[in-house]
Amino acid sequence: MKEELDKDIDQEIEPREMNPTEYRLLTLLFNFFRFPEGITLSSLRKIMEGFYDNENRDSDRRKLSRDIEELGALGFYIKYYPQKNGKDFVYVLVKDPLSKTLEFTEEELREISALLLKGYSEAPKYELYTAARKIFAGDLEYFPEMIENPEENSEELGETAFQILEALKNHTPIRIKYYKTFPEDSYLKEADPIRLIRKGGQDHYLLAYDREEKVKKRFLLPKILSVELLQGDPLYQARGAKKETEEDLIVHAGLFPVHESKNVEWICKEEGLVKAKLFLTGIKYAEEKNKLSFQSTNLEGLLPFLWRWPDAIETVLPEELNSVFRNSVKQISELYEKV
């Protein structure tokens, strides 16, 4: 057996010249190695002059597509992505073609994170946290920030949250120390926890039944300073007039019932569209190209986006919202002048 292997090794490989196609493919592959961030067809026409220099650009594009298929058959996989200008593509050599990855859209990530959070609020299990950490290891934008070991970090970050989750699991009344604006103005409130509500990928509210005022309220989790588990049975019963409604799940300030419902239209710049859609999470909107249309019962609740990204939107309707925005900026300016 050893002699047969040695015999095979001793056999020489007859060298031969590469044909033009093989030479082009090898040159193309080396250029993909040189530029791991990707290459456009326009760049290839410059650095591989003589290979892709047809007057008809589409002809070169078709030739490049055939070459990419050839490289793929040899085990070198190349993906392409459209550029923002829509006139060209970026071609990128896949670093590890054997590694299999899952890709999710933003909408799918939001749905998955919402289901995980719902599952945790109904039956708190640390396995759901670890599963979420694995699923969103690449980008946690669509899931709340988590801690690796809640027991070790409870004093710093998680004690309040896990007491609330324990109360939700066991249907236990709680006494919370809560504040609206400043921590020094905190107050005590006894409540029956109902569920956690997620806004976007970061803010979380506790929907609870106020045992004194006999109404359901939403409490922002970071503003709950402490939680005390109480003895006795909860007063809240999820039926009849106390049954949960869609209004109970509203956490977006733009939907707080301040005035009658008003039509709002935002025509966004291309780079601002995603930011606007993320801000509107929780509000039903219609999308037509770069225009977002929705209803708001609190125009002032939309101001945080306009303050932070005023250049993200080209047109704002109704004019009343523009007026509210201008007045708010004027008031802020006057306050800073007094400081």
* 5, pLDDT greater than 80: no
Residues 6+ apart with CB under 8 A from 190: 173, 174, 175, 176, 210, 211, 212, 230
Strand pairing report for 187-199 and 174-178: antiparallel
Q: Are 202 and 282 in the same domain? A: no
Q: Is residue 271 part of a domain?
A: yes
Q: Are 265 and 334 in the same domain? A: yes
Residues 6+ apart with CB under 8 A from 53: 45, 60
* 106, pLDDT greater than 90: no
The residue-averaged pLDDT of 172-195 equals 86
Q: Which residue did the predictor score with more confidence, 333 or 2?
A: 333
* 99, pLDDT greater than 70: no
The residue-averaged pLDDT of 145-163 equals 52
Helix (H, G, I), strand (E, B) or coil at 26: helix
Query: Phi and psi of 186, rounded to 5°?
Result: -70, 160
Last residue of a domain, one of 93, 110, 135: 93
Q: Are 51 and 105 in the same domain? A: no
Whether the bond into 234 is cis, omega within 30 of 0: no
Distance between CA atoms of residues 167 and 195, nearest Å: 10
Q: Are 261 and 322 in the same domain? A: yes
* 24, pLDDT greater than 70: yes
CATH of the domain at 192: 2.30.30.100
Of 254, 319, 264, 321, whose CA–CA distance to 294 is shortest?
Answer: 264
Q: Are 49 and 26 in the same domain? A: yes
Q: Are 86 and 136 in the same domain? A: no
Alpha-carbon dihedral angle through residues 106, 112, 116, 119, given to the nearest 10 degrees: 140
What was the pLDDT predicted at 263? 94
Distance between CA atoms of residues 192 and 202, nearest Å: 23
Q: Is residue 178 part of a domain?
A: yes
Distance between CA atoms of residues 298 and 317, nearest Å: 14
Taken in order 223, 229, 230, 234, the sign of the CA dihedral is positive
What was the pLDDT predicted at 329? 85
What was the pLDDT predicted at 175? 93
Taken in order 99, 105, 110, 115, the sign of the CA dihedral is negative
* 143, pLDDT greater than 60: no
Q: Which tokens go with 59?
A: 């002809």
CATH of the domain at 291: 3.30.70
Q: Are 187 and 211 in the same domain? A: yes
What DSSP designation does 318 have?
Answer: S
* 7, pLDDT greater than 50: yes
Q: Are 240 and 311 in the same domain? A: no
Last residue of a domain, one of 177, 209, 244: 244
What was the pLDDT predicted at 265? 94
Q: Are 226 and 167 in the same domain? A: yes
Q: Is residue 151 part of a domain?
A: no
* 339, pLDDT greater than 70: no
What was the pLDDT predicted at 75? 81
Q: Is residue 14 part of a domain?
A: no
Type of residue at 59: S
The residue-averaged pLDDT of 290-306 equals 89
- State in Å, rounded, how far the first CA of the chain is from the last one: 90
Q: At what angle do helices 159-170 and 106-122 cross, to 10 degrees?
A: 70
Q: Which domain holds residue 33?
A: 20-93
Last residue of a domain, one of 109, 144, 179: 144
Q: Is residue 54 part of a domain?
A: yes
Query: The whole model's pTM is what?
Result: 0.39
What pLDDT band is residue 152 in, cutting at 50, 70 and 90?
very low
Q: Is residue 66 part of a domain?
A: yes
Q: Which residue did the predictor score with more confidence, 109 or 214?
A: 214
- Give residue-wise pLDDT tens across range 235-276: 877 665 566 666 666 667 787 777 899 999 999 988 888 888
Q: Are 233 and 308 in the same domain? A: no
Domains identified in the chain, total number: 4
Q: Are 162 and 238 in the same domain? A: yes
Written in H, E and C, the secondary structure of 203-244 is: EEEEEEEECCCCEEEEEEHHHEEEEEECCCCCCCCCCHHHCC
Q: Is residue 291 part of a domain?
A: yes
Q: Is residue 10 part of a domain?
A: no
What pLDDT band is residue 150 in, cutting at 50, 70 and 90?
very low
* 148, pLDDT greater than 60: no
Where do the H-state alpha helices sit in the chain? 2-10, 20-34, 41-47, 57-73, 106-122, 126-135, 150-153, 159-170, 273-279, 303-308, 319-338
* 77, pLDDT greater than 90: no
Q: Are 163 and 237 in the same domain? A: yes
What was the pLDDT predicted at 147? 42
